[in-house]
Structure 1
Amino acid sequence: MTARDRLALALDVPDHAAAMALVERFGSDFGVMKVGLELFVAEGPRIVRDIVASGSRVFLDLKLHDIPNTVERAARRAGALGVWLLTLHTQGGPDMVAAGARGLSEGAAGARRGAADSEAGSGAVVPMALGVTVLTSDAEALPDALAERATLAERAGCGGVVCAAPDLATVSSAAPGLLRVVPGIRPVGAQQADQRRIATPAQALAAGADLLVIGRAITEAPDPDAAAAAIVAEAAAVHAESSPVAG
Structure 2
Amino acid sequence: MTSEEAKKRLCLALDVDRLSDAVRLVETLRDRVTLFKIGFQLFTKEGPGAVQAVQSLGGRVFLDLKYHDIPNTVAAAAREAVNMGVYMFNVHASGGSDMMRAAVEAAASQSQKSNTTMPVILAVTVLTSLNDRILTDELNINNQLAHQVTHLAALAKGCGLDGVVASPQEITAIRERCGHGFTILTPGIRPPWIKNIKDKDEDDQKRTATPSQAIRLGADYIVVGRPILKADDPAEAADNIVRDMTSGC
Once the 2 structures are TM-superposed, how far is the Cα of residue 3 of structure 1 from its aligned partner?
Answer: 1.5
Deviation readout 1:175-227 (Å, 9 max, x if unpaired): 11311100010101313701000000000000110100001011012332222
RMSD after superposition:
1.6
Partner in structure 1 of residue 186 of structure 2 = 182
Partner in structure 2 of residue 82 of structure 1 = 85
Matching residue's letter, 1:127: P
Partner in structure 2 of residue 200 of structure 1 = 210
Distance 2:111 2:87 in 1: 9
Distance 1:111 1:45 in 2: 18
Q: 1:109 to 1:181 in 2, by over 3 A?
A: same
Partner in structure 1 of residue 239 of structure 2 = 229
1:17 pairs with one of 3, 12, 20:
20
1:212 pairs with one of 208, 211, 222:
222
Partner in structure 2 of residue 102 of structure 1 = 105
Structure 1: segments with no counterpart, 5+ residues: 113-123, 242-247
1:34 pairs with one of 18, 28, 37:
37
Helix, strand or coil at the partner of 2:90: strand
Distance 1:209 1:67 in 2: 30
Distance 2:122 2:227 in 1: 23
| Contact in 2 for aligned 1:81/1:108 (Cα 8 Å) | no
Structure 2: segments with no counterpart, 5+ residues: 133-143, 195-199
Q: 1:105 to 1:50 in 2, by over 3 A?
A: farther
Matching residue's letter, 1:210: D
Helix, strand or coil at the partner of 1:2: helix
Superposition pairs of residues 46-195 of structure 1, within 5 angstroms: 46-112=49-115, 125-140=117-132, 142-176=145-179, 177-190=181-194, 191=200, 193-195=203-205
Once the 2 structures are TM-superposed, how far is the Cα of residue 13 of structure 1 from its aligned partner?
Answer: 0.4
More contact order relative to length (CA 8 Å, sep ≥ 6) = 2
Partner in structure 1 of residue 197 of structure 2 = none
**What percentage of residue pairs aligned between the two structures are identical?**
40
**Residues paired across the two proteins, number:** 228
Distance 2:100 2:89 in 1: 11
Q: 1:200 to 1:162 in 2, by over 3 A?
A: same
Matching residue's letter, 1:88: V
TM-score relative to the length of structure 2: 0.87
Once the 2 structures are TM-superposed, how far is the Cα of residue 158 of structure 1 from its aligned partner?
Answer: 0.7
| Contact in 1 for aligned 2:212/2:246 (Cα 8 Å) | no
Partner in structure 2 of residue 116 of structure 1 = none
Q: 1:81 to 1:110 in 2, by over 3 A?
A: farther
Helix, strand or coil at the partner of 2:91: strand
